Amino acid sequence: MKTEITSLDLLFLCRELQTLVGSRVDKIYRPDGFLFQLHKTGSGKLFLRTEKNAVWLAAAKTETPETPGGLCSTLRKYLEGKKLTSLEQVNGERILKLTFQTQQDTYSLYIELFSNGNIVLADEHGIVKAAQEERAWKDREIKRGKPYALPPAKKNFTQISPADLDSTTPISKHLATLGLGKTYAEELCLRAGTDPTSNSLTENERITLHAYLQKLLKEPISAFAYPDGEITPFALSGKTGTAYPSFSAAIDANLSKSAALTKLEKSRARFDSEKERIQNAITIQERTLTKINEDAAKQQRAGELIYEHYQELKNILDQLHAAKKKHSLQEIAQKLKGHAVIKHVNPKTQEITVEITDD
């Protein structure tokens, strides 16, 4: 995984997260995703962290908002004080199901790690009590008061047979769609000596590849983080990375750091965008103000010129008014062609254009 958990990642994480079974919910917080603070006798405080496409056992509590609101408040209402009795991956999907119980109540929390991610709380009858996102898809609906519906069933990668590895597409691509993801599909082909581009495996090749898959699924956790951002529950062939004591520790140290960096970069991008928008607005306003000042100066000067040449302009108007008594404006316009001061007479609008020299 780099930024989101694959079905195979979740299989390994479920092994680690079994340590949470038997703990009780102390508090639920909402940083970027959700943080479940649990307490287990003999272990003390434990922190289950979720983000859009990831879940892991965090080393410590992160900074959280003082007022949770929304789904976080609802989860607190129904889950705080309750005991986590089971934790499982659903049908090989990227869905983690946590069951919380008291003597009176049972609730299931579904953490969906695909698409935009979702967290759904259901009661003992499977009826949705709350969800991070309520939505209707073509093939399922998540809505309060309705039964929780899983995505359309597909082949569980932990239960595939050699025959399921028969594909007309490149085998690495086929394995990736079965739930392994691109990185682990290529790793499996490398371990099994299978050409990842092959789309016509022989029966023996399928049997060999299947055997290596079964071995991979049972491999002990030996987590690594690599310079390219890849975080894995076991070592990848031919790659050098940093070892961690657990898969969760590797995710906690690298994914959260990467998420924080991504968040910082997004904030910086938003800041730069807003800065550019404001700067553009200032530039436009400065240009507009300059034009207004220039126009105002022109208008002021025009007024001054009228005042300076008031008598001359008055004489022109008086003469034109006198001429209108004997001649039409069309005739006056013809006679005034080439006049030193009166440059144009418009008979239709009765507008006269004069030229005053700004000495």
Summarize pLDDT for 244-288 with one digit per residue, the tens: 999 999 999 988 565 555 566 667 778 888 888 888 888 899 898
The structural domains of the chain, ordered by start, are 1-154 (2.30.310.10), 309-354 (no CATH)
Q: What's the 3-state SS for the chain? A: CCCCCCHHHHHHHHHHHHHHCCCEEEEEECCCCEEEEEEECCCEEEEEEEECCEEEEECCCCCCCCCCCHHHHHHHHHHCCCEEEEEEECCCCCEEEEEEECCCCEEEEEEECCCCCEEEEEECCCEEEEECCCEECCCCEECCCCECCCCCCCCCHHHCCHHHHCCCCCHHHHHHHHHHHHHHHHHHHHHHCCCCCCCCCCHHHHHHHHHHHHHHHCCCCCCEECCCCCEECCCCCCCCCEECCCHHHHHHHHHHHHHHHHHHHHHHHHHHHHHHHHHHHHHHHHHHHHHHHHHHHHHHHHHHHHHHCHHHHHHHHHHHHHHHCCCCHHHHHHHCCCCCCEEEEECCCCEEEECCCCC
Whole-number pLDDT of residue 112: 96
Summarize pLDDT for 11-64 with one digit per residue, the tens: 999 999 999 999 999 999 988 889 999 999 999 999 999 998 999 999 998 777
Whole-number pLDDT of residue 92: 93
Whole-number pLDDT of residue 260: 58
Whole-number pLDDT of residue 66: 65
Whole-number pLDDT of residue 94: 95
| Predicted model pTM | 0.72
Whole-number pLDDT of residue 206: 95
Whole-number pLDDT of residue 259: 56
Instruction: Enumerate residue ranges in the chain where pLDDT < 50.
Output: none
